[in-house]
Amino acid sequence: MTEDCVAIKGKHPAWQIHKRLYNWVLHWAETKYGLIALIILAITEPICVPIPADVLVIGMCLGKPKKGIRYGVTCAIFSVLGGTIALLLGMAIGGENVIAVFDKIHLGPKVNLALEMYQKYDFWAIAISALTPVPYMLFSWLGGMAEVSIVKFVLVSIVFRTMRFGSEGVIFYLFGIKARHFIEKYFNLATIIVITLLALVAFVMKKLGAAFAP
């Protein structure tokens, strides 16, 4: 595991996060507190932490590939918990204050786009943010402003966060450390394909429903 973790640590993450913070998070994968660190990161990432939880999931899977599914599902569950907390905080704090916070971390321009997506396509807004590198933190906080159903947010998040982190765990479970190269190279493409297929299924179901409607 050490050589693989060193290889990851030597690279700048695709999200352009500060290298030292990235490495500090990753180093927990090599300690006996790795699972606790994963739970804490999964909860706090949707609230205020700019480090994607994938970093620690992959790091831990490198050490124990056969526990990959456990790590992925654990991360998904607690990530949804963190996202729900962020949504409730957004409701409590209020729209203008939430927007001001995102302006300070240079995400202000994305706020209006996120709100527009929520108002038109709330299901897909949650699904895409939960599955892809689109900031889940941003959509979690703005969920309250868009008056998104908490039940819908939780249920959709559980499905798609599990697809994201669970798939990483499954890949490591099946292919071991070789899976790292596959995830790094094809993860974004795979998520785009999944979203496209789901959109196609939803479109077909809508058309079929209209065709058979009385």
Strongest mean pLDDT among 108-112, 159-163, 180-184: 159-163
Confidence of residue 73 (pLDDT cuts 50, 70, 90): very high
Task: Name the most confidently modeled range: 30-34, 100-104, 132-136, 151-155.
Answer: 151-155
Q: Within 10 Å of residue 196's Cβ, how many Cβ atoms?
A: 10
DSSP code of 135? -
Q: Which region among 13-22, 101-110, 163-172 has the lowest average model confidence (pLDDT)?
A: 13-22
> Is 140:165 a contact under the CB 8 Å cutoff?
no
196 vs 100 pLDDT, higher one: 100
**Cα-only R_g, the chain:** 18
Gap between the Cα atoms of 1 and 102, Å rounded: 37
Q: Is 20 exposed, middle or buried (0-12, 13-18, 19+ CB in 10 A)?
A: exposed
Q: For the packed helices 19-27 and 54-63, what is the interaxial angle rounded to 10 degrees?
A: 40
More confident residue, 2 or 74: 74
Q: What angle do CA 75, 23, 89 make, to 5 degrees?
A: 45
Query: Where does residue 182 fall: left (phi above 0), alpha (psi -120 to 50 degrees), or beta otherwise?
Result: alpha
Q: Is the pLDDT of residue 199 over 80?
A: no
Task: State yes or no: pLDDT of 36 exceeds 90.
Answer: yes
Domain range list for the chain? 2-212
Residue range 156-164: mean pLDDT, rounded: 92
- The pTM for the full model equals 0.75
Least confident range of 19-28, 35-44, 165-174, 182-191: 182-191
- Is residue 81 scored above 90 in pLDDT? yes
Nearest Cα residue to 83 out of 187, 163, 156, 192? 156
Range 117-135 average pLDDT: 80
